[in-house]
Structure 1
């Protein structure tokens, strides 16, 4: 069984020219994502696995896959610890 992700229902997303701003409506806290972070977020909530999102990131930005995996994992950890993203099992 693979893990999929979804935004916390209490999170609003407003896209900007260079990424997005996420608002956790319960806490009132904001987070800003650059364009790359938004792309990874879209991949994850669109059903891609972390590995698939990392492969996409590596190919789009010509970075080593290991770095892309680390970047996706770091973003995922940050989004989960801020209660912005949920795992669906």
Structure 2
């Protein structure tokens, strides 16, 4: 499930994560550091399950909860048209 940023989306890393600006709509979103890590992993081609496993190891959280969190972020990125499948 490879993803890429929508062509109209610009990103800027901050101390607290990443800001995404959809240049066509003028809307922007801010991801915290965990959301930013999820986005980077998704753009690098990692599966949601692999990202959840990484979060589970990193933050000592429940695997199922991590999978739900990754899925929720991915759904929101898609709904906002910030990412697309090539």
**Alignment counterpart, residue 28 of structure 2, candidates 30, 39, 42:** 30
RMSD: 0.7
* SS of residue paired to 2:81: coil
Residue deviations 1:24-62 (CA, integer Å, cap 9, x gap): 011000000000000000000011011111111111111
Name structure 1 gaps, 5 residues minimum: none
Instruction: Using the TM superposition, give the Cα deviation of residue 87 of structure 1 relative to its aligned residue in structure 2, in angstroms.
Output: 2.0
Give runs of aligned pairs for residues 64-79 of structure 1, distance below 5 A. 64-79=62-77
Q: Give the TM-score of the pair, scaled to structure 1.
A: 0.93
* SS of residue paired to 1:4: coil
Q: Give the TM-score of the pair, scaled to structure 2.
A: 0.96
In the alignment, which residue of structure 1 is the partner of 2:6? 8
Runs ≥4 residues deviating over 6 A: none
